[in-house]
Amino acid sequence: MRRALLALVVLAGCVRPPRPVIFTQLDHERGKPEVVAARDGSPTLFGKAEALRKRAEAAYDAGDTATAELLGQHALAAYEHAAATARLTAATIKHSREAARASKLGEQLAADTDARLDVDREADRLEAEVGIRREALAPAVSGKTDPAREAARWIATRANLAVADALCNGAHLLAPKAKGIDEARKILAEVAARAQSDKDPAPIDSSTRARALCLKALTNARSVVVAGGGATGDALVTELEGAGLAGVLVGRDERGVVATLPADTFEGTKLTAAGKTRLDGLGKIAKARSTWAIVVVVHAAPGKVDAARDTARAKAITDGLAGSGADAARIGTSTPGATLLAFDTKDAKNAPKNERVEIIFVGGT
């Protein structure tokens, strides 16, 4: 009897304890799709979880249920960590791909925008080309006139010649060998000589043709600069406006980018302190655009025309620009007197502002 009881006690001590519930939870966790994905998405952490699970199994096999339970809990947490890390990694990769895709689309959009702008510019250029050719080949013929209209034609003739002078001057400085420059300058000189006396009818038609030919010559010169890789400088207007040059007005017309200096730039023929500051800023901007040309146009107010003074002012402007780095060889001057008015002479407040200096930047655009 005593031997039977002892055998039962020994047999009871050899019975394996029941498998902890944590192993069932581990099996369930390992089967989840996100954990399966962690095998490739986060292999290091997944391997750590697997190692913990195996240690838990070994502890259980050794009969150490408490340690098996503890290691199983660690393994469960490790699987969850691996799955979370894999999701984060996948999300980061997706974000990077989307960012790269967005960047590529942005580049394509910018390229498409630039291409559209190029097409628009070319269309504008061709439209202007047609107008120039039409005007140069067959300018509108003026009919008979009366004294008042003849006086108006003289005003228009002198304005045409003043603009033509700036256009041809800029073309010659920009690309002296460009097509049409010599012919345009020759015709301009002939018409200007005829316009010295107002005893004959105003050469309005000839002046219009001379202006059109000079504009055509400048267009050709600009094409040479662009073809040669010269600066186009669409941002020049923005740069001039942001340069902090007090009193300087910036605009654009057929002659180029125009910086207009007010009358207080000079005191007689001497530059004022404000004038020197303006020229220093403009000269530095010109220095950075060595392929550009500059035409300095000195205007007088009606009734205050002084050719000697205007010539001296033009030289002072040229010297000031060159002193700040501009290439003196690429600077031309024009002194049209009071032929190009910016304000109505009857406007008492603004009429004095007709006395001004225009610094025209002539480039590839």
pLDDT at 244 over 70: yes
Predicted local confidence at residue 151, as pLDDT:
86
- Tokens, residue 96: 């990077």
Predicted local confidence at residue 12, as pLDDT:
46
* b/e sequence 305-320, b meaning 16+ C-beta within 10 Å: beeebbebbbebbbeb
Mean pLDDT of all residues belonging to the chain = 84
**Across-strand partners of 334?**
297
Q: Is 248 helix (H, G, I), strand (E, B) or coil?
A: coil
- Angstrom distance (rounded) from CA 363 to CA 240: 15
Tens of pLDDT, residue by residue over 262-304, are: 889 999 999 999 999 999 999 999 998 888 999 999 999 988 8
pLDDT at 95 over 50: yes
Residue type, 161: L
**In the Cβ-directed half-sphere of 174, how many Cα atoms lie within 13 Å?**
37
Higher per-residue pLDDT: 23 or 6: 23
Tens of pLDDT, residue by residue over 317-342, are: 999 999 999 999 999 999 999 898 88
pLDDT at 103 over 60: yes
**Across-strand partners of 357?**
261, 298
Q: Is 332 helix (H, G, I), strand (E, B) or coil?
A: strand
Q: Is 236 helix (H, G, I), strand (E, B) or coil?
A: helix
Over residues 179-203, mean pLDDT: 89
Neighbours of 344 (CB within 10 A): 10
- Tokens, residue 352: 């004095």
Residue type, 157: T
Predicted local confidence at residue 7, as pLDDT:
46
Assign residue 144 a region (left: φ > 0; alpha: ψ between -120 and 50; beta: otherwise).
Answer: beta
Over residues 61-70, mean pLDDT: 87
Cα dihedral: 264, 270, 274, 279 (round 10): 110
Higher per-residue pLDDT: 102 or 136: 102
* b/e sequence 203-229, b meaning 16+ C-beta within 10 Å: bbbbbbbbbbbbbbbbbbbbebbeeee
- Tokens, residue 219: 């267009």
Tens of pLDDT, residue by residue over 9-64, are: 444 445 667 888 888 888 888 888 888 888 888 899 888 888 988 898 888 888 88
Predicted local confidence at residue 233, as pLDDT:
59
232-365, superfamily in CATH? OmpA-like domain (3.30.1330.60)
Closest Cα to residue 293, out of 166, 192, 181, 182? 166
For 137, counting Cβ atoms within 10 Å of its Cβ (0-12 exposed, 13-18 middle, 19+ buried), the class is exposed
Closest Cα to residue 296, out of 325, 326, 341? 326
Predicted local confidence at residue 228, as pLDDT:
52
Closest Cα to residue 279, out of 307, 251, 246, 306? 246
First to last CA, the chain: 119
**What is the layout of strands, in order, in the sheet containing 249-253?**
249-253, 256-261, 356-362, 293-299, 331-337
Predicted local confidence at residue 56, as pLDDT:
82
Tens of pLDDT, residue by residue over 305-323, are: 999 999 999 999 999 999 9
Counting every residue written for the chain, the total comes to 365
pLDDT at 3 over 60: no
pTM for the model: 0.61
Q: What does the domain layout of the chain look like in residue ranges?
A: 15-93, 151-229, 232-365
